[in-house]
Amino acid sequence: MVSLSNAFDVVVVGGGPGGSSTAALLGKQGKKVLLVDKAQFPRDKTCGDAVSGKSGNVLRELGLVDIVEKSPHEEVWGITFSSPKGTIVSVDFPSQYGHPQGYICRRFIYDNLLFQNAKRFAEVWERFRVTDIIRENGFVVGVKGKHLDTGKEEEVRAKIVVGADGATSVVATKLGLNLLLPEHHCGALRAYYSGISGLTQHIEIHFLDGLIPGYFWIFPLSNGEANVGVGMVTSDIRKRNVNLKQAMMDVIEKNPVFKERFKNAKMIGDIKGWNLPFGSYRRKAHGNGFLLVGDAASLIDPFSGEGIGNAMTSGSYAAKTIEKAFEKNDFCEVVLKEYEDSLWECIGSDLKTSHRLQRLGKNRFLLNWVLGKAARNKELRETISGMIANRESKTSLISPVFYLKLLFM
């Protein structure tokens, strides 16, 4: 038996960083918001747990910086790379007013902080799985779903539906927008480890033979443990028939450097994998009565694999456009287009640069050469630090002039 519940101004499907940010910001505006998630929070999300400075702006908008900084996390003060040849380069990030450039915070903790905050401003249904959207006269006007504890099916009506339901988004799929494009999609795995030697407050990204064009990461956690993983573009996994799990275990068990560092290490729990839809392809993320945010809108950085910051940023832009739509009392595609235009104005050029960097990163010779130079040259290390910390434009990294200058460094 299907029951029809009250109508809301907005229904947000998915309570990850994208959905929880959207729901809280809309609720603060005074909108009647329903946030639904199929999970019971706190819940885990397979991830590297690296929360970069990009999330900082939205955390400030939400008033959550202090709360995150009081929760268990590791501060990130730099980055360590290694090249396929084994050259190691460590770059410190400058302190910004005493704050680090990012955190490593388990998603079990981080997402729960955002989700509990959203509860202050929105009605929340946990363990409610959305199964379909409701369409009338060419508009999305609500969602259908099931309460997982009772089996009760329910339809919810709203002026706007926000699809924030991640990489396998039901909302995007039902709208025919969730295309899996292997060139713009990545497969990745992660596992938690204790007992790895040589951990610092740097995140580690290692470009290793057998794994490029992907990389192997070690991200230190607050309790001496670390988040360890690998990721590779799906078209490359298929072309080269890579078994990612085997590739990760080969690095840990056979690579001389990591074999030594993992000598006393223990895996905690299992290796888990999930999908990353990249923002190197611009997915349509708005239409009559709906918006998509975060992974549902395919916004992950195609070089770093970072998606939390863009999920939260898209939530912030979505809330602003929705506010204007309510002022006009018009929820059509033309009005909601402003969301996508303003979002891409903000993150589009960075995504484009990262896509070109991803392609440059496939070149083993170039990786060895640039990282070899950086290991010997302080000025170059400082330039790279500035680019990663967003003090200097990352676009230099894709400019031929940058590489010409390197010849003389």
Ligand X SMILES: Cc1cc2nc3c(=O)[nH]c(=O)nc-3n(C[C@H](O)[C@H](O)[C@H](O)COP(=O)(O)OP(=O)(O)OC[C@H]3O[C@@H](n4cnc5c(N)ncnc54)[C@H](O)[C@@H]3O)c2cc1C
- Site for ligand X contains 23 (CB under 6 A): no
- Site for ligand X contains 343 (CB under 6 A): no
- Site for ligand X contains 125 (CB under 6 A): no
Taking CB under 6 A as the binding criterion, the range among 243-251, 291-299, 351-359, 399-407 that sits at the site for ligand X is 291-299
3-state secondary structure of 348: helix
The residue count of the chain comes to 409
Q: Checking DSSP bridges between strand 215-220 and strand 226-233, what pairing results, if any? A: antiparallel
Distance of alpha carbon 104 from alpha carbon 285, whole angstroms: 29
- Figure out which of the listed residues 8, 11, 19, 340 binds ligand X, where binding follows CB under 6 A: 19
- Figure out which of the listed residues 33, 39, 105, 335 binds ligand X, where binding follows CB under 6 A: 39
DSSP secondary structure string for all residues of 243-295: -HHHHHHHHHHHSHHHHHHTTT-EEEEEEEEEEEEBTTS----EETTEEE-GG
- Closest to ligand X by CB, 305 vs 380, is 305
- Least separation in angstroms between residue 178's CB and ligand X is 11
- Rule CB under 6 A: which of 226-245 touch ligand X? 229
φ, ψ at 66 (rounded to 5°)? -60, -40
- Site for ligand X contains 36 (CB under 6 A): yes
Q: Is the peptide bond before 42 cis (omega within 30 degrees of 0)?
A: yes
Residue whose C-beta lies closest to ligand X = 307
CB count, 10 Å around CB of 4? 10
Structure tokens at 357: 């960097």
- Rule CB under 6 A: which of 75-104 touch ligand X? none
- Least separation in angstroms between residue 17's CB and ligand X is 4
- Least separation in angstroms between residue 345's CB and ligand X is 20
- Site for ligand X contains 221 (CB under 6 A): no
- Site for ligand X contains 188 (CB under 6 A): yes
- Site for ligand X contains 133 (CB under 6 A): no
C-beta separation of 115 from 39 below 8 A: no
φ, ψ at 62 (rounded to 5°)? -85, -10
C-alpha closest to that of 69 among 90, 86, 55: 55
- Site for ligand X contains 370 (CB under 6 A): no
- Least separation in angstroms between residue 359's CB and ligand X is 20
Residue type, 284: K
- Figure out which of the listed residues 10, 17, 24, 228 binds ligand X, where binding follows CB under 6 A: 17
Distance of alpha carbon 386 from alpha carbon 92, whole angstroms: 10
- Least separation in angstroms between residue 186's CB and ligand X is 8
- Figure out which of the listed residues 50, 133, 161, 357 binds ligand X, where binding follows CB under 6 A: 50
- Figure out which of the listed residues 164, 367, 371, 384 binds ligand X, where binding follows CB under 6 A: 164
According to DSSP, the residues that pair with 101 across neighbouring strands are none
C-beta separation of 294 from 307 below 8 A: yes
Taking CB under 6 A as the binding criterion, the range among 176-184, 246-254, 289-297, 322-330 that sits at the site for ligand X is 289-297
- Closest to ligand X by CB, 9 vs 295, is 295
- Figure out which of the listed residues 85, 129, 356, 381 binds ligand X, where binding follows CB under 6 A: 129
C-beta separation of 313 from 18 below 8 A: no
For residue 45, give Cα distances in angstroms to 105, 173, 232. Answer: 12, 20, 19
Distance of alpha carbon 323 from alpha carbon 112, whole angstroms: 25
- Site for ligand X contains 48 (CB under 6 A): yes
C-beta separation of 208 from 256 below 8 A: no
- Closest to ligand X by CB, 314 vs 383, is 314
- Site for ligand X contains 130 (CB under 6 A): yes
- Closest to ligand X by CB, 178 vs 321, is 178
According to DSSP, the residues that pair with 43 across neighbouring strands are none
DSSP secondary structure string for all residues of 75-126: EE-EEEEE-TT--EEEEEPPPBTTB-SEEE--HHHHHHHHHHHHHTTSEEEE
Taking CB under 6 A as the binding criterion, the range among 32-40, 85-93, 363-371, 393-401 that sits at the site for ligand X is 32-40
- Figure out which of the listed residues 165, 204, 225, 340 binds ligand X, where binding follows CB under 6 A: 165
Taking CB under 6 A as the binding criterion, the range among 161-169, 281-289, 337-345, 353-361 that sits at the site for ligand X is 161-169
- Least separation in angstroms between residue 205's CB and ligand X is 11
Distance of alpha carbon 387 from alpha carbon 372, whole angstroms: 18
User: If binding means CB under 6 A, how many residues of this protein chain bind ligand X?
Assistant: 38
The binding site for ligand X (CB under 6 A) comprises 13-19, 36-39, 45-50, 129-130, 164-166, 170, 188, 190, 229, 274, 276, 294-296, 300, 305-309, 311
